Structure 1
């Protein structure tokens, strides 16, 4: 038996299972009548009307919770009644959850649980999330923002059924940040960068083909029952590892002679269990086919999302309605009473090799503040809109599983890692191409000019958003309005793995942002570089802006100075919470702006950022981003450590200091406007202890 034959046995099984029909869970868009109102808006200096209205009402609710929290703290010399008289606007508080797979999700869960115990979770206006952080946020959305839903996770089964944990090191992960280091991969294997085009219809298979596969299935099952187990080598508990080893070794070592009988017996012996794992993917495939049958292109992100939602969401059944973010949020009783923070899922756009092109999903709209300033109503995402005019409308494209998977397209790193492992074999490439075709994904050869690859079309890890709602939008010249599809990826791809950007925009009037960083910079711990990356990107954008972008009521750049990762380590800023931007002097002024004074128009101040780095307070929480299963004990340890990160090991002094940071911007605005009241002396001690600048 040749190596290709061994692989194709598995491939045939996969193919057969994937073309078998089974009950389809609701997934994908459905046609609706186009509304009479505009679906696209040009975002100049304001939020959409829906978010503005919700936020105004939400902050009336959060202000009551903030007052309750401040009263409970009993900060020396702080008079809440006097403070409320100073307050010119409700305090805006946001939370940013970084990427990092299950590590981020579990650490963030503990962080939020402790935040809720102190009464601060109810004070939040917005929660933004990327990648693993978006898994946590999606779970909250699907469970109506019920904190009890994240107090216990059952993730002992692998997130990707049948796939063992993959230990991918930082150096193996290819992103736009280190793409230059991947030049050797690019030059040695052109096929991996074949570009994804619109999906083509699966080839019609005859009834004879079905009979052939059914016969093959029956023979394999019968043979596995009669095998002599003693003739097989001892296998590990992970049944998939045998099949994986056989395939990888047969492709990797061309000179090695494999015992063909032992190989096939080993694979057949594992076949029944392997078939159980395949059923997981059969269900997923049957779910996403509905989207494709309606003419929408599919990507690996569709499959990834359906696998992901089984672990982070509520239990699903065939009677479930479509999990539309817009629909589920706006129909919630908590939404109608303004009891929910506004969720923001963050992603990057890769059309034409764009960098730092940040897109966001809220329950109200989808779009970008920094590269496009265009937004479409989320409910109508997936509709055919040309030049701002709807041609054909759908709802349901904004499935929570798809949006969450877009923000956490982990497959890009896994695919690159696996491809590096087995790419030398031409037989492997052909087999992988056949599998991809089975999934309804089509590839065509990319072009290389002068040693550079043309990235105009998407790669298989891209999430496909087509039709592009901003296509040919008038008077907006951009690569993003010239292409019929958008290609989105993991929100941390460009090195901004802590999604502060969406919370810091002036339009959302944030006074304080809690930022939890569970990135994998050094030994699976963060080192502050993701926060610094954001600062570098942001300041670069500020420098290329023209003076016409200056707004008199917002003279400050939205981010304070952030030090280098080397200083984070030297300054002991990773083992404890640290606040950036406490003093307004730490912010640069926008072009054309002057230092505000009491004669200035009413201004909006930039937010203070409380930065928390994942750190071993009570448990070694530096697990791999690609660790796909956790024992009950590991889950408990990760949750407890997340609680300790937020509370700074249950420090009552620090909790009072959080109160001092909450009120700081109100005092700042009061003083700018000529007032005499200052924060209490106790708060001055807090600012000295926890403020970097």
Structure 2
């Protein structure tokens, strides 16, 4: 055997070893933990679905236990910490032990805007914020039993949960340790540069696509919602920093499951309100590209269950087995279950999946209000997804295998479908998912509505979300949900009364003989009280904010939350914090204090004597960009790329030095060559000194004479 022949077996062995190593490396790529696990043994039970009626609805046992433990061991102390001696509010706080109102908070959604608005408001309600606590508003978050969100609000909620309930300051801006920041300056779709060909964009998209393909390779159909959720996770979940943003060094949130929230330390200690994410649906196969009807099923996702309280369905699935095909609550066989489908990023993506309204599934093009960079990026991503994954009939909605097939065939719109097509939680115009907290079994006394909707031409809310909930409860959910309190009858009335521009209490005075409704504390996004330029009314499709922009945005939302309003002035109300406490505790007291009565006169909506928008003078409504030149974005880019820039600067300096040195050398060489050439051309009888002036003669002649 010759020497080359000896190498062939070694080369073959090396090739096999390298192939195995590469296969293992690909299989262990962290971003691929996004793929669900299929063919899992199902639990031994008669049904994986619990079914009820509006009359027999009952909370999931784990949810009920959580609420009972939180209210018994956490909230009772939180009330005392928030109210202090409460001398102006209630005569004897100790008599209310065990009778405190049950409070829920709901955060509406529309992208980055509402994630930031919600963060600013929650920070103003958080007892961990010293300024908010001093103003009297900080503490409401600690006494809340529920926190519901949809769309951009779900991004905020998911970020809070998966980072184990940090303060809002740490969550948004980082803590210098295990929390980086939201990094909203990195565009959600094209984070590196406005070019599809940019290498960092390609690395980012490649990682996102690889996650989604891993799901498709396990036989689970995907859609643009999977891409969307994975991009959201880079900005809101943990494991992503500026240093690893464009790498696959971490999973970037892949593998983090909504059903594993119950394992988090702050959940186990009942520190956080019970979380709920809402999503709308369209009837499978309908292809609706506009707002869905009010009777379309609305779903919720908690750490324990997925399903709907709507009377047409009234059924829940254990969230751990979401992604499993079921018929009448049963799998096809004992090993047909799926786990790991409830990825946190997919839950957040599902609740914000607005692509039925912007994606043309025929040509694969998106419409993002003249944001060409984002359009090009999404077009590229969608085309890559379509060419690398099995075809699916539904690409513009979140695909959820239907676990409720065969249930309530007369009333449930998707009883005969294999798939559920889930959409953005505001697809039915209920942009704040209030109805999830109005479920009778949850028995809430007070609901705080954080409304960051963009309803009018200046992107401020006009009450459309509350009006939609009112109509939906009245026409579809009257048997399963609590009634709504009295509110203005139209969006025009919300505007004319001014309640869309300042804190308002709805339902202060229960009407005797009518069903009990919760009080609603309405906190709409509004211009700054002092008349300064507003920065919180941005568009739905603004996919990046500089650090300065985010700071100004959240600061405005925060101070509005602390300020309340004083009629006919541009000043904050120094009593607003205590007035908020009055509203929160009101359902538990038998008679209001004089102070609280005064607060209610100012903040309650009385349909028989409505307020007027004229009480809110001096407001600016037109958006003003607080960072118009994007200067902080340039600074951030310079900071991120300072290493590369330093290398470039050194290279440029070296290059310039080289060029200058070459020029000097070339000019010197040229001069020397010219002198020698002229000397060579002189004849013997020439008189070379004639070419010099008298001064040169003294210098040059002796030199020539010495040579000769």
TM-score (norm 2): 0.68
Contact 2:409 2:415 (8 Å CA) reproduced = no
Find the aligned partners of 2:416 and 2:90 in 1 and give their Cα distance: 59
User: Does residue 383 of the first structure (1) align with residue 346 of the second (2)?
Assistant: no
- What is the 5 A alignment of 1:278-677? 278-316=202-240, 317-318=249-250, 322-327=255-260, 329-352=261-284, 353=286, 355-356=293-294, 357-370=297-310, 371-390=312-331, 391=333, 392-415=336-359, 418=366, 435=384, 437-440=386-389, 442=391, 458=394, 460-466=395-401, 468-473=402-407, 477-522=411-456, 523-541=458-476, 549=479, 557-585=483-511, 595=514, 605-617=516-528, 619-648=534-563, 651-667=573-589, 677=590
Find the aligned partners of 1:419 and 1:151 in 2 and give their Cα distance: 29
Pair 644,307 (structure 1): closer, same or farther in 2 beyond 3 Å: same
1:80 to partner: Cα distance: 1.0
Contact 2:322 2:341 (8 Å CA) reproduced = yes
Q: Deviation string for 1:599-657 (max 9, x for gaps)?
A: xxxxxx42111111111216421111111111111010111111123222664411111
Contact 2:398 2:423 (8 Å CA) reproduced = yes
Contact 1:506 1:606 (8 Å CA) reproduced = no
Find the aligned partners of 1:690 and 1:361 in 2 and give their Cα distance: 33
User: Does residue 160 of the first structure (1) align with residue 100 of the second (2)?
Assistant: no
1:355 to partner: Cα distance: 2.4
Aligned to 1:196: none
1:420 to partner: Cα distance: 9.5
Contact 1:582 1:691 (8 Å CA) reproduced = yes
Pair 560,156 (structure 1): closer, same or farther in 2 beyond 3 Å: same
Aligned to 2:674: none
Aligned to 1:11: none
Pair 30,571 (structure 1): closer, same or farther in 2 beyond 3 Å: same
User: Does residue 51 of the first structure (1) align with residue 59 of the second (2)?
Assistant: no
Contact 1:161 1:277 (8 Å CA) reproduced = yes
> Which of residues 15, 27, 31 is equivalent to 2:34?
27
1:313 to partner: Cα distance: 1.0
Aligned to 1:686: 599
Q: Deviation string for 1:359-410 (max 9, x for gaps)?
A: 1001010111113101101111112322111331122111000010000114
Find the aligned partners of 1:432 and 1:102 in 2 and give their Cα distance: 20
Pair 657,434 (structure 1): closer, same or farther in 2 beyond 3 Å: closer
Contact 1:379 1:395 (8 Å CA) reproduced = yes
User: Does residue 65 of the first structure (1) align with residue 73 of the second (2)?
Assistant: no
Contact 2:462 2:494 (8 Å CA) reproduced = yes
- What is the 5 A alignment of 1:198-217? none
Pair 575,478 (structure 1): closer, same or farther in 2 beyond 3 Å: closer
1:439 to partner: Cα distance: 4.2
Pair 415,441 (structure 1): closer, same or farther in 2 beyond 3 Å: farther
1:560 to partner: Cα distance: 3.7
Higher relative contact order (CA 8 A, sep 6+): 1
1:275 to partner: Cα distance: 3.0
Find the aligned partners of 1:98 and 1:46 in 2 and give their Cα distance: 26
Find the aligned partners of 1:309 and 1:432 in 2 and give their Cα distance: 16
Q: Deviation string for 1:97-126 (max 9, x for gaps)?
A: 111211111111111111113122211211
Q: How many residues align?
A: 512
Three-state SS of the structure 2 residue aligned to 1:481 is: coil
1:41 to partner: Cα distance: 0.6
Contact 1:471 1:482 (8 Å CA) reproduced = yes
Find the aligned partners of 2:575 and 2:213 in 1 and give their Cα distance: 55
Pair 488,525 (structure 1): closer, same or farther in 2 beyond 3 Å: same
Q: Deviation string for 1:425-473 (max 9, x for gaps)?
A: xxxxx99996453142636xxxxxxxxxxxxx64x2200001x111123
Contact 1:28 1:397 (8 Å CA) reproduced = yes
Contact 1:27 1:288 (8 Å CA) reproduced = yes
User: Does residue 97 of the first structure (1) align with residue 107 of the second (2)?
Assistant: yes
Q: Deviation string for 1:455-500 (max 9, x for gaps)?
A: xx64x2200001x111123776523221111000001011000111
Find the aligned partners of 1:474 and 1:517 in 2 and give their Cα distance: 34
Contact 1:58 1:125 (8 Å CA) reproduced = yes
For structure 1, the 5+ residue unaligned runs are 1-19, 164-237, 244-270, 423-429, 444-456, 587-593, 597-604, 668-676
Three-state SS of the structure 2 residue aligned to 1:146 is: coil
Q: Deviation string for 1:542-577 (max 9, x for gaps)?
A: 5xx6xxx59xxx9x6244444311111111112210
1:333 to partner: Cα distance: 1.8
1:159 to partner: Cα distance: 0.8
Three-state SS of the structure 2 residue aligned to 1:525 is: coil
TM-score (norm 1): 0.69
Find the aligned partners of 1:529 and 1:381 in 2 and give their Cα distance: 32
Find the aligned partners of 1:433 and 1:366 in 2 and give their Cα distance: 28
Aligned to 2:125: 115
Find the aligned partners of 1:321 and 1:432 in 2 and give their Cα distance: 18
Find the aligned partners of 1:79 and 1:431 in 2 and give their Cα distance: 64
Find the aligned partners of 2:151 and 2:588 in 1 and give their Cα distance: 33
Find the aligned partners of 1:302 and 1:627 in 2 and give their Cα distance: 20
